[in-house]
Amino acid sequence: MIEEEIMDLQKYRNHLIQNIKNKLSEWARSEETELIPFKEVYRFLHSIKGTSGTLQLVGLVEISAELLSKLEGRVENWDKFEVKNFLYPLIEFIYKHENSNELANLNETVLYSNAPVIHIIDDDVSMLILLKDVLEGEGWIVITNTNPEKAVKQYFEMKPDCLIIDIHLPQKDGFQILEEIYEHNKKHFIPTIMISIKSSKETRMKAYQKGADDFFKKPIDLEEFVAKINRHLQRKKLFDESVLIDELTQVYNRKYLLESLNRFYQDFKRTKQPFSISIVDIDFFKKINDTYGHLMGDQVLRDFAQYIKKNVRNLDMIFRYGGEEFVIIFPKTNNVDAKKRLNELIRGFSQIEFTHNDNNFTVTFSAGLFTVDDMGIEISEALKEADSSLYEAKRLGRARVECLQMTSNTYKNNVLNISVIDDDIIIRSLLAQVLDSISIENFELNIKTFENGPSFLNSAHAKEEVNHFLILDGIMPEMDGLEVLQNIKQGKSVNKYKVLMLTGRNSKYEIERALRLGADDYVTKPFNVNELRVRVERILNTLK
pLDDT at 307 over 90: yes
**Section 123-145 average pLDDT:** 91
Q: What's the pLDDT score for residue 303?
A: 96
Give the DSSP H/E element, type plus range, for residue 366: strand 365-372
> Do 349 and 443 sit in the same domain of this protein?
no
Which strands make up the sheet holding 275-282, listed edge to edge?
A: 317-322, 325-330, 275-282, 365-372, 401-402
Q: What's the pLDDT score for residue 443?
A: 77
Task: Provide the pLDDT confidence category of residue 503 given band limits of 50, 70 and 90.
Answer: confident
> Do 190 and 238 sit in the same domain of this protein?
yes
The CA distance from 188 to 191, in Å, is 9
**pLDDT tens string 149-181:** 888 888 887 889 999 999 998 888 889 888 888
> Do 325 and 399 sit in the same domain of this protein?
yes
Instruction: Give me the domain span that covers residue 204.
Output: 117-242
> Do 421 and 388 sit in the same domain of this protein?
no
Task: Provide the pLDDT confidence category of residue 284 given band limits of 50, 70 and 90.
Answer: very high
The CA distance from 325 to 346, in Å, is 14
Query: Alpha helices, DSSP H only, in 107-253?
Result: 125-136, 148-158, 174-187, 201-210, 222-242
Q: What's the pLDDT score for residue 391?
A: 92
Q: Is 214 helix (H, G, I), strand (E, B) or coil?
A: strand
Q: Positive or negative CA dihedral for 309, 315, 321, 326?
A: negative
pLDDT at 74 over 60: yes
Look up the CATH number of the domain holding residue 373. Answer: 3.30.70.270
Q: Do residues 521 and 501 touch, judged by C-beta distance below 8 A?
A: yes
Q: Are strands 414-421 and 353-356 parallel, antiparallel or unpaired?
A: unpaired
**Section 189-198 average pLDDT:** 92
* Percentage of the residues of the chain whose pLDDT score is greater than 90: 41
98, 132, 153: which is the final residue of a domain? 98
Give me the chain's average pLDDT, please. Answer: 87
Q: Pick the range with the lowest mean pLDDT from 294-303, 319-328, 340-349, 461-470.
A: 461-470
> Do 13 and 79 sit in the same domain of this protein?
yes
100 against 369, higher pLDDT: 369
406, 432, 451: which is the final residue of a domain? 406
The CA distance from 135 to 111, in Å, is 11
pLDDT at 4 over 60: no
406, 428, 448: which is the final residue of a domain? 406
Task: Provide the pLDDT confidence category of residue 7 given band limits of 50, 70 and 90.
Answer: low
**pLDDT tens string 220-240:** 999 999 999 999 999 988 887
Task: Provide the pLDDT confidence category of residue 529 given band limits of 50, 70 and 90.
Answer: confident
Task: Provide the pLDDT confidence category of residue 6 given band limits of 50, 70 and 90.
Answer: very low
Q: What's the pLDDT score for residue 362?
A: 95
Tell me if 345 is assigned to some domain: yes
b/e per residue, 158-168, with b = 16+ CB within 10 A? bebbbbbbbbe
pLDDT at 2 over 70: no
Tell me if 109 is assigned to some domain: no
Instruction: Give the 3-state secondary structure percentages of the chain, helix then strand then coil, rounded to 5.
Output: 50, 20, 30
pLDDT at 78 over 60: yes
- Rg of the Cα atoms in the chain: 27
Tell me if 38 is assigned to some domain: yes
Tell me if 111 is assigned to some domain: no
> Do 390 and 418 sit in the same domain of this protein?
no
> Do 160 and 301 sit in the same domain of this protein?
no
DSSP one-letter code for 496: G
The vertex-289 CA angle with 286 and 292, nearest 5°, equals 140
First to last CA, the chain: 61
pLDDT at 8 over 80: no
Look up the CATH number of the domain holding residue 126. Answer: 3.40.50.2300
Tell me if 248 is assigned to some domain: no
Task: Provide the pLDDT confidence category of residue 505 given band limits of 50, 70 and 90.
Answer: low
> Do 231 and 258 sit in the same domain of this protein?
no
- DSSP one-letter string for 416-478: EEEEEE-S-HHHHHHHHHHHHT---TTEEEEEEEESSHHHHHTSHHHHSSSEEEEEEES--SS
The CA distance from 302 to 269, in Å, is 34
> Do 390 and 259 sit in the same domain of this protein?
yes
Q: Are strands 497-504 and 521-525 parallel, antiparallel or unpaired?
A: parallel
Q: What's the pLDDT score for residue 366?
A: 96
Q: Are strands 497-504 and 359-362 parallel, antiparallel or unpaired?
A: unpaired
> Do 325 and 397 sit in the same domain of this protein?
yes
Q: Is 503 helix (H, G, I), strand (E, B) or coil?
A: strand
Q: What's the pLDDT score for residue 263?
A: 87
Task: Provide the pLDDT confidence category of residue 517 given band limits of 50, 70 and 90.
Answer: confident
Structural domain count of the chain: 4
Q: What's the pLDDT score for residue 109?
A: 60
**Section 538-542 average pLDDT:** 78
Task: Provide the pLDDT confidence category of residue 543 given band limits of 50, 70 and 90.
Answer: low
β-strand partners of 367? 280, 401
pLDDT at 409 over 70: no
> Do 25 and 121 sit in the same domain of this protein?
no
Task: Provide the pLDDT confidence category of residue 322 given band limits of 50, 70 and 90.
Answer: confident
Tell me if 108 is assigned to some domain: no
Q: What's the pLDDT score for residue 408?
A: 46
> Comparing C-alpha atoms, which of 475, 467, 375 is closest to residue 422?
475
The CA distance from 178 to 182, in Å, is 6
Q: What's the pLDDT score for residue 147?
A: 86
* Percentage of the residues of the chain whose pLDDT score is greater than 70: 93
Task: Provide the pLDDT confidence category of residue 376 given band limits of 50, 70 and 90.
Answer: confident
pLDDT at 242 over 80: no
> Do 76 and 126 sit in the same domain of this protein?
no
Query: Alpha helices, DSSP H only, in 99-146?
Result: 100-106, 125-136
